[in-house]
Amino acid sequence: MNFYAVMAIYKFEMARTRRTLVQSIVAPVISTSLYFIVFGAAIGSRITEVGGVSYGAFIVPGLIMLNLLMHSISNASFAIYMPKFVGTVYEVLSAPVSTVEVVLGYVGAAATKSIILGLIILATATFFIPLRIEHPVIMLLFVFLTSITFSLLGFILGIWADNFEKLSIVPSLIVTPLVFLGGSFYSTDMLPPFWQSVTLFNPVLYLVSGLRWSFYEISEVNILVSLVSITAFMLLCFSIVLYMFKTGYKLRT
């Protein structure tokens, strides 16, 4: 394992975050604070408790998951798309580094940014509502697995995309609706039986449910199912990335 190469890519990507601190950190924190103000004040006054916890506390895992998914995808997709766009990706491909090392550098940096952002949002939430975390280790595990998995997904999108418009298609048209319909801001128990069954086909439900269980021990699906689901999807994404590099899909043309 060429750790020098991995750290070179990792440090370069992390340095880009410091140059865009407002966009990477400040803007998500402000938007999340607005969620707490709007949802906590407007809706929280009408819905006092969900599953035995206040509505403001109930939506915290959903907000964390929303930011983890969106920023993991955007960070990783932009990180690999820009070298493709300007042509510097050929320097990476011709360098004496393996596919795993390249992926570790890019995806590791994207996941690190998302994890830091998720923890900052968690800290921000404490200024608005009292929080408790029943299983902090499981919470950190979900944050870690989610950040890695969706950074891999973003990496796939960055390789697949031919233009900047395609970079935003999946996050805006697929991921965002799935998050809002995946029980982030409401309990699926509030839905009619038919829609409860339909929601089970939403993969984001398992992520939000697992993260919420680590906070309050309430969930729509079994915690083990959530862990197995995110792990399986992570391995699938990693396999696709390896295949793309092996075949040179949209990298060598």
pLDDT for res 214: 93
Tokens linked to 118: 């998720």
* Residue 204, in any domain of the structure: yes
* Residue 145, in any domain of the structure: yes
* Residue 252, in any domain of the structure: no
**Nearest C-alpha neighbor of 185 from the set 63, 89, 96, 102:** 63
Indicate the number of domains in the chain.
1
* Residue 120, in any domain of the structure: yes
Range of the domain at 229: 3-247
Confidence at 161, pLDDT banded by 50, 70, 90: confident
Tell me which amino acid residue 38 is. Answer: V
H helices within the chain, ranges in order? Answer: 3-19, 21, 27-38, 55-58, 60-86, 89-94, 99-125, 136-160, 164-170, 176-180, 193-199, 203-216, 223-247
* Residue 161, in any domain of the structure: yes
* Residue 18, in any domain of the structure: yes
What is residue 189's DSSP assignment?
A: G
* Residue 114, in any domain of the structure: yes
In whole angstroms, give the CA distance from residue 25 to residue 44.
26
Kind of pairing between the strands at 49-50 and 53-54: antiparallel
Tokens linked to 196: 């409860």
Neighbours of 248 (CB within 10 A): 10
| Percent over 90 (pLDDT), the chain | 30
- Between 250 and 204, residue with greater pLDDT: 204
* Residue 253, in any domain of the structure: no
Cα 139 to Cα 50, 123, 142, 178, 240: the distances in Å are 20, 14, 5, 21, 27
Tell me which amino acid residue 25 is. Answer: I
pLDDT tens for each residue of 111-150: 999 999 899 889 888 888 888 899 999 999 999 999 999 9
pLDDT for 104 beyond 80: yes
Tokens linked to 156: 């796939």
pLDDT for 152 beyond 90: yes
Q: What is the pTM of this model?
A: 0.90
